[in-house]
């Protein structure tokens, strides 16, 4: 077998999955250099809250029936995903989970190239890609950022495909990357190669044949190759449609529309299954939606969407499954996954684990999850009605905002009081170019005064929470703000 690392690069460029951010979801992107980005099409809206996914799990873990994996006892040795991507930046969520890093180009480092090249996101957050993929898979429970899907059973090998200053790489590098992952699997428990990237440019016959040969070699070596389908709403892009590659489409994580294919997801021949990649759930006033992640620089919560995430979710599920059962082959693991899909063709991780004889792991994880998320206790009966002093019903309690201060991108909100047994939820929104309200910050707290970091704001939605029940809201609009002590409000 020839060493592709020494071969000249092809002239067919692959444009690596890139992030795009706007006040509204971007479902498609422009062509560049003759190829179309298999974009992550992220819509990131900062929110202020604790570690995303702790303790209740993320919307994508819930939608994929994978909540147990956050709490399951660790396997003797974690499984490893070989992540072929833009590189991974170090932060508290990635540093502990990297099994190693390697750059295909000798003239670059292993950091996230797209985070360095792309303009920053609103709020100054880096617009990378590989870093977010790694965090989604296995970010630890550490009070920072987010909790990954499988924080104890999966690790990530960072295989950077981009050269310094580049957002594209040659088509032949697919084979180079798969070859490298296969070689690494001889010395570490790599079981899955994740390709959250692609191109609508048709490769040459020789390029495609070379890629197919290396995919077949990886499969023979026991590796699964999993690829995102693409985000154009059209046919599946290469490499998602290549034989031996498991092509993944994106579906809705919203319980109300669970499993419905995301409008942007590519579809048709080459789609093996769907996994969460968007979310039609909406915050008050039409704000953030998508799956839940965290910004890679400061760990603040964010929304995102794209088939890149769907592919990474399936990769994580298989790597975790094979960590708990190291004798499983790639075909056996994929058989358990594809034979237990929902009626709409969606990933069902708990069912797949059960099908592969790992029901005890599911049960142990769910028992720990339920212990960490007990149902709210029933309130004890109060005194006889005749002895009560008539008061406003608790179910209709509304916050009274007494002061708003906005200075140096810090919005400070004070309420008069928080009734016993309730918590205060604050949602800060601003209007986009078309007037649509977008959530830019959110917190739920027991403190009367909260400070949220935002660039600007147009509306505050305040309400009390009784457990998970939302009570009536109070809305304050910046343009009509009167009667409140205020300073620097703009």
Q: At what angle do helices 173-184 and 205-220 cross, to 10 degrees?
A: 10
Q: Yes or no: say if 274 and 344 are a contact pair by the CB < 8 Å rule.
A: yes
Model confidence band, residue 199 (pLDDT cutoffs 50, 70, 90): low
* Spatial separation of the C-alpha atoms in residues 204 and 216, rounded to whole Å: 18
Q: What are the beta bridge partners of residue 423?
A: 465
For CATH 2.60.40.10, list the domain ranges present in the chain.
393-487
pLDDT grade for 29, boundaries at 50, 70 and 90: very low
Contact residues for 310 (Cβ-Cβ < 8 A; gap 6+): 228, 229, 248, 249, 250, 251, 265, 274, 275, 276, 277
Least confident of 154-158, 160-164, 409-413: 409-413
Residues 390-408: what's their mean pLDDT? 72
Mean per-residue pLDDT for 3-18?
A: 34
Residue 43 confidence (pLDDT) above 60: no
Q: According to the model, what pLDDT value does residue 381 have?
A: 54
Name which of 94-103, 127-136, 257-266 the model is least confident about: 257-266
**pLDDT value for 110:** 96
pLDDT of residue 130: 95
Mean local confidence (pLDDT), 73-87: 97
Q: Compute the average pLDDT of residues 365-378.
A: 88
pLDDT in tens, 374-389: 887 665 555 444 333 3
Question: Where, residue-wise, is CATH 3.40.50.200 in the chain?
Answer: 4-371
Per CATH, the homologous superfamily of domain 393-487 is Immunoglobulins (2.60.40.10)
Output the pLDDT for position 359: 97
> Is the pLDDT reported for residue 58 higher than 80?
yes
Residues 398, 385: Cα–Cα separation, whole Å = 23
Residue range 4-371, CATH number: 3.40.50.200
User: What is the DSSP pairing of strand 35-36 with strand 31-32?
Assistant: antiparallel
DSSP for 73-113, written as a single string: PPPSS-EEEEEEES-----TTTGGGEEEEEESSTTS-SS-H
pLDDT of residue 48: 39
Q: What percent of the chain has pLDDT over 70?
A: 80
Q: What is the pTM of this model?
A: 0.73
Q: Which of 417, 399, 407 is nearest to 457 (CA)?
A: 407
Burial category of 212 from C-beta neighbours within 10 Å (exposed 0-12, middle 13-18, buried 19 and up):
middle
- Looking at residue 75, its pLDDT comes to 98
pLDDT grade, residue 47 (50/70/90)?
Answer: very low
Lowest mean pLDDT of 66-70, 90-94, 395-399, name the range.
395-399
């Amino acid at each position: 077998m020839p060493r592709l690392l020494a071969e000249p690069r092809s002239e067919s460029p692959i444009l690596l999955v890139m992030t795009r951010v706007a006040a509204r979801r971007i479902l498609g992107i422009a062509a560049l250099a003759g190829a179309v980005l298999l974009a992550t099409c992220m819509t990131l809206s900062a929110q202020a809250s604790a570690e995303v996914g702790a303790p209740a799990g993320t919307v994508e873990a819930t939608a994929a029936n994978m909540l147990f994996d956050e709490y399951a006892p660790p396997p003797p040795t974690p499984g490893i995903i070989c992540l072929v991507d833009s590189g991974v930046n170090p932060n508290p969520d990635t540093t502990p989970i990297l099994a190693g890093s390697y750059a295909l180009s000798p003239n670059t480092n292993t950091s996230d190239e797209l985070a360095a090249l792309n303009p920053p996101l609103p709020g100054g957050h880096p617009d990378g890609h590989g870093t977010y993929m790694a965090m989604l898979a296995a970010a630890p429970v550490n009070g920072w950022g987010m909790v990954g899907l499988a924080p104890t059973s999966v690790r990530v090998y960072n295989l950077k495909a981009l050269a310094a200053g580049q957002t594209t790489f040659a088509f032949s590098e697919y084979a180079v990357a798969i070859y490298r992952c296969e070689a690494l699997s001889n010395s570490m428990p790599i079981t899955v190669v994740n390709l959250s990237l692609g191109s609508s440019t048709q490769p040459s016959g020789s390029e495609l044949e070379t890629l197919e040969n290396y995919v077949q070699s990886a499969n023979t070596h026991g590796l699964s190759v999993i690829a995102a389908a693409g985000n154009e709403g059209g046919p599946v892009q290469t490499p998602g449609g290549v034989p031996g590659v498991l092509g993944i489409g994106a579906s809705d994580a919203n319980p109300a529309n669970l499993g419905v294919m995301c409008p942007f997801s590519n579809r048709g021949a080459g789609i093996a299954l769907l996994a969460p990649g968007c979310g039609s759930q909406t915050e008050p006033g039409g704000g953030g939606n998508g799956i839940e992640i965290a910004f890679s620089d400061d760990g603040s919560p964010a929304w995102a969407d794209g088939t890149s995430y769907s592919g990474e979710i399936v990769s994580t599920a298989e790597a975790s499954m094979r960590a708990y059962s190291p004798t499983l082959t790639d075909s056996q693991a994929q058989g358990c996954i594809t034979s237990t899909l929902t009626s709409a063709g969606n990933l069902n991780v708990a069912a797949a684990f059960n099908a592969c004889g790992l029901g005890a792991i599911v049960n142990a994880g769910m028992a720990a999850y339920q212990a960490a998320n007990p149902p709210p206790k029933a309130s004890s009966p109060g005194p006889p009605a005749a002895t009560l002093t008539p008061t406003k019903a608790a179910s209709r309690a509304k916050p009274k905002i007494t002061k708003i201060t906005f200075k140096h991108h810090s919005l400070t909100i004070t309420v008069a009081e928080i009734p016993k047994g309730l918590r205060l939820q604050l949602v800060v929104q601003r209007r986009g170019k078309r007037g649509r309200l977008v959530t830019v910050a959110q917190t739920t707290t027991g403190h009367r005064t909260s400070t949220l970091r935002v660039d600007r704001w147009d509306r505050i939605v305040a309400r009390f929470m009784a457990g998970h029940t939302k009570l009536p809201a109070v809305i304050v609009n910046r343009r009509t703000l009167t009667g409140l002590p205020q300073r620097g409000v703009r």
